[in-house]
Amino acid sequence: MSETRGVLLPAYVLADESGSMSPYLGDLSDGLTSLCEGLRAEPMVAAKLRLAVLGFSDDVQVRLAVADMRTESTLPQMVIRGLTSYKAVFEDLLQRIPADVQWLRGEGYKVHRPVVFLLSDGQPTDGRSWRSPHAQLTDRSQTPTAPNIIACGIGDARADTMLEVATRPEFAFVAKSGTDLGQAISEFFHSLTSSLVASGHALNSASPQLVVNRPEQFTMAIDEV
Amino acid sequence: MDTDNAPVPAGPRDVPPPAAPPPPPWQSVQPWQRITVGTPGPEFEALPPGEYAYDVPDTECDGWSTGELAMRFASVRGAKHRYYRQPRQDAARAAVHAASGSVVFAVADGVSSASEAEQGAVAACRAAVERMLDLLDGAGGRVDLRDVACRAADRLGELTRWRLGGKDPEFSEVAGLYATTLVAGVVRPHPEGPVVEVCRVGDSGAWALDRASGRYQQLFPTKTGTDVLLVSSTVTPLPHVPDPLEQTGRRLSPGEVLLVGTDGFADPLGDGDGQVGSLFAAHLARPLPPLWLAHLLDFSRETFDDDRTLLAVWPSAPGGRR
């Protein structure tokens, strides 16, 4: 039967769990809580999203598997550990996203192009090795389910790196110099929630589009390079 | 006064009570219950749209028949717009060309990012219908659908110019105010079966529904076909008129109904072989009351919260039976 149960936007939050995030674990947890509560407060929008939360450092660990936030009752718990391997991130997404899209389609849904929100507080510690899986992930001819990537850098993360990670220049942001990192994390999640809600409104309309709101205390990375 | 011999007024004890009148038949009539398909969406009382959207009712419907064709349309505000205090941004209009008996129609879906999308949709429909009536009046009654689409786009430009106080608008200003999809066309009566000519700008759809089998044949490619891995997010609405314009034509057999709908109907319909397709195939087998079409179209199904508009044209069978 080809009748669809709905059209969903798979959204992935990639949060940096490397050691340097240790002072901000509470801010991360608070941000995730506000994200989950914000989506629950918008059940009509949440019905059209499936949210996954992944923690990354030396590898990627699932903190919340692709979930319907209207019914999901557990809060993702982040764990501080290891270094900052971007290679692990993009290799994981290369496997994960096509599999998730296939699974959702198998469940009877149609799927919008997935979106990844990446929050990093530092430069990748794996040199340039991440560029190859990143290129493969974002090349729509190689990966038909290639996601849109929004990259937000705080702390030591550089604007040029965020620009390389993001799939469009206007999707790359860095925290303004001197911004409190805890506040920046809070703003990241605030913006993430509003972007998902706005995108949820714009989906399934005559002009479905991804809406990305710049977090307060962040600037466009393109303005910093 | 001798109270013992005083006349006793007639009272209720002396006259058998009249039989209770039967309840009026309308007492047992219940309001229509919302139709649900699969898992319903949330139920809530609709909120009013903005102050200046008073001219856009939540629901619109219309219906009439000529000797050869029957037309119905309905347009209902989606749950998302009812919840977030926005007006319906879909529109439909239809008219009969008296001299030829042709039915001209237009269905539009205002783009939500346009600030006056609801007005854009109505204006595009009106302009398209008026232009088709004009063209049918011309020699040979040929309807140039590109001309029709361009006239609708021009109308959006004129509205923008008026809005800007006479300043010639940029294309982006027109799109920012009034961008809308459009499906417009004409159904001409013919002894061998009515002939449909239809064009579209954007992603609204058109189908020929076979009444006997319940199968939906799409007249334009769909954006969410089963073979598409991801849903496309590329829609190019009016005021852009693509070159070439997407248009098609075919004859309707006596057993077919022409359907034209916005994506609020097309998305849950899919290929038409599921529950939504079955619901509409069952009820569209013959012309139905316009209010019932609106009620049907307002079905509840989780995640499908867009405005919905559906227009249908049935051919008459010989002898007037539809």
Q: Touching check for A113 and chain B: CB below 8 Å? A: yes
Q: What's the distance, Cα to Cα, between the start and end of chain A in Å?
A: 51
Q: Is residue A1 part of a domain?
A: no
pLDDT tens by residue, A54-106: 999 999 999 999 999 999 988 899 999 999 999 999 999 999 999 999 999 99
The predicted structure's pLDDT at residue A1: 44
The predicted structure's pLDDT at residue B228: 66
Cβ pair A205:B269 closer than 8 A:
no
Nearest CA in chain B to A202: B112
Q: Is residue B142 part of a domain?
A: yes
Q: Is residue A17 part of a domain?
A: yes
The predicted structure's pLDDT at residue B227: 54
Q: Is residue B1 part of a domain?
A: no
Q: List, as one string, the DSSP characters of B236-284.
A: --BT---SSPEEEEEEPPTTEEEEEE-HHHHHHHTTS-SHHHHHHHHHT
> Which ranges in chain B belong to alpha helices (H)?
79-83, 117-137, 145-163, 171-178, 263-269, 275-283, 290-297
Q: Is residue A207 part of a domain?
A: yes
Q: Is residue A131 part of a domain?
A: yes
DSSP reduced 3-state for A182:
helix
Q: How many domains does chain B have?
A: 1
| DSSP single-letter state for residue B24 | P
| DSSP single-letter state for residue A69 | T
A54: CATH: 3.40.50.410
Q: Is residue A209 part of a domain?
A: yes
Q: Touching check for A204 and chain B: CB below 8 Å? A: yes
The predicted structure's pLDDT at residue B321: 44
The predicted structure's pLDDT at residue A96: 97
Print the domain residue range for A45.
Answer: 6-224
Q: Is residue A37 part of a domain?
A: yes
Q: Is residue A83 part of a domain?
A: yes
B306: CATH: 3.60.40.10
Q: What is the pLDDT along chain B (322 residues), one digit of tens a residue?
A: 444 455 555 555 567 778 888 888 888 888 999 999 999 998 899 999 988 899 999 999 999 999 999 999 999 999 999 998 999 999 999 999 999 999 999 999 999 889 999 999 999 999 999 999 999 999 899 999 999 999 999 999 999 999 999 999 999 999 999 999 999 999 999 999 999 999 999 989 999 999 999 999 999 987 555 556 787 656 789 999 999 999 999 999 999 999 999 999 999 998 999 999 999 999 999 999 999 999 999 999 998 999 999 999 999 854 444 4
The predicted structure's pLDDT at residue A57: 95
Question: Is the peptide bond preceding residue B23 cis, with omega within 30 degrees of 0?
Answer: no
Q: Is residue B17 part of a domain?
A: no
Contact between A140 and A104 (Cβ < 8 Å): no
When CB atoms are compared, the residue of A6, A101, A204 closest to B229 is A101
Distance from CA of A17 to the nearest CA of B (A): 31
Q: Is residue B35 part of a domain?
A: no
Distance from CA of B34 to the nearest CA of A (A): 18
Q: Is residue B171 part of a domain?
A: yes
Cβ pair B233:A209 closer than 8 A:
yes
Pairs of CB atoms within 8 A across A/B = 105
Q: Is residue A148 part of a domain?
A: yes
ipTM value greater than 0.85: no
Q: Is residue B94 part of a domain?
A: yes
Q: How many domains does chain A have?
A: 1
Q: Is residue B306 part of a domain?
A: yes
Q: Is residue B292 part of a domain?
A: yes
Closest CA to B112 of A214, A200, A109, A8: A200
Name the least confident of A114-123, A213-222, B117-126, B145-154. Answer: A213-222
- Pick the residue with more confidence: A3 or A117? A117
Name the least confident of A11-25, A72-86, A186-200, B203-217. Answer: A186-200
Print the domain residue range for B82.
Answer: 56-320
